[in-house]
A and B are shown apart, each in its own frame.
Chain A
Amino acid sequence: MNRSSLPCLFVVTAVTALASISPASAQGASAGVQEFDPQAFPGQVVEDVVVPVPSEVFSVLDKLGEPNWRQEIRTVNLPKTPDRTKLSLLFGLVVAEGFVAVQAEDKEAVKDIGREVIDLATALGLIKSVRPHAQAILDAADKSDWASIRKEFDQTQKTVRDSMEQMKDADLSQCVSMGGWLRGTASVTSVIGKSFSADRAELLNQPMLVEHFIASISKMSKDKKDHPNVADISKGLKDILAKMEGAVDGFTKEGVREIGKTCDSLLTDIQAAK
């Protein structure tokens, strides 16, 4: 991830150098298709992907209606495990659950999640850097300062991923992002499923993010890639990607339900003891 912890710029130079970045220069000459081809970009493509936080999607759902976010809060099972891959996935899941609790403006749920953040950070050996954020979350919950809590959850997730990358564990950093994305997407599919509309369903058009996660897994070390949860996530993401790519005319209610079911199944496995 090309964030502040990694000062080097990871870039790839486009194989095909074109004279300009205009659509005309990127179009397929024979087909006459006006699609912009990022692979033909005449410069450097920054490979790093910034994964949106769940509240970026939740805010749109709020604008399209008034979801009952309290109905979306789930109890997180934290299995006692030394398995750092599972703990990293759980960390992302818990932070995403925090964003749901903020949407619901549920002070007690936020506090519970703040304590789970502390437990997970302790298990991951990252409590020193996470404790200030976790305390800030608990303090802001007392004041019902939802904007600050949202910011702290984002900061907490970044701090953990940066720490993991500093420890040369970029694979675990990706697991945090994946756990968060899966939980956020499960919430989104649940809200859309309860009040389906094309505008709501369009929020699931996220193939680049899914491709990014699939590619990240493929680049992981063998022990991470073969981890049962990660292997299942890879398979599940491929199913989700196929559904996203198949939704040429928009997502159907059934398609949304299937994406949600895949996410829920993976999240259940992440929270299982083994």
Chain B
Amino acid sequence: MHFLSIRHLQRTAAASVAALLLTSAPLSHATIDDAHSFAMEAAVPFVEQGFIVREDYWNGEVKSGQKLMVRHQMFKGNEYAFWLGTASEEVAFELKVLDEKGKEIELDFKNQGMFATVRVNPPKTGTYSVVFSLTSKKEKGLYWALAYGYR
């Protein structure tokens, strides 16, 4: 079980929601909303650095190990961060951002517990591909949520 630090609990309501979910809801009842709560927990340190979190996000359920891709518009001059959350424990994350030629452009991939993050400084304004997967040895299907912010 992943436990939130007291410091995170004090930071934002989003982190508090995630903490409540962890302490009150068994993971067998995990939902897509739980996955989004963990994505929002991942966003907390970025918000402190001035990132604005978008309300819209992508989410769903996916087979363990299955690759997913979302296409997204980004603007040169902004810095972006993507936050991938899941409602399952012990998940291995992959999270990449590809330009139109398929070249990886993400920075600072990090994963911690039930989320993973990357930053992106798009070299051009245009469409990019966010490619990701979640792999679990325990569960066949995994809830996920991918959110983003910009500054």
Contact = CB atoms under 8 A, between A and B. Distances in A.
Contacts of B150: 56, 59
Contact of B54 (A34, A38, A154): A154
B55 A154 contact: yes
A45 B33 contact: no
A126 interface: no
B52 to A, nearest CB: 7
Interface in A135-172: 147, 150-151, 154-155, 157-158
Interface residues of A, number: 52
Contacts of A157: 55
A54 to B, nearest CB: 11
A49 B58 CA distance: 8
Contact of B33 (A4, A9, A154, A204): A4
A203 B75 contact: yes
Contacts of B67: 21, 41-44
Interface residues of B, number: 43
A205 B59 contact: no
B100 A46 contact: no
A209 B125 CA distance: 12
Contact of B78 (A44, A60, A151, A207): A60
A208 B76 CA distance: 16
B71 interface: yes
A52 B43 CA distance: 18
A194 interface: no
Contact of B101 (A23, A158, A205): A23
Contact of A48 (B31, B58, B75, B126): B58
A230 B55 CA distance: 26
28 contacts: A3-B57, A4-B32, A4-B33, A4-B36, A9-B59, A9-B62, A34-B101, A35-B101, A35-B102, A36-B101, A38-B69, A38-B129, A41-B129, A44-B62, A44-B68, A46-B68, A48-B70, A50-B72, A52-B73, A52-B75, A59-B78, A154-B56, A157-B55, A158-B56, A203-B76, A203-B77, A205-B124, A208-B127
Given A151-B52, A203-B125, 9 more contacts: A4-B57, A36-B99, A42-B67, A43-B66, A44-B62, A44-B69, A45-B71, A46-B58, A50-B54
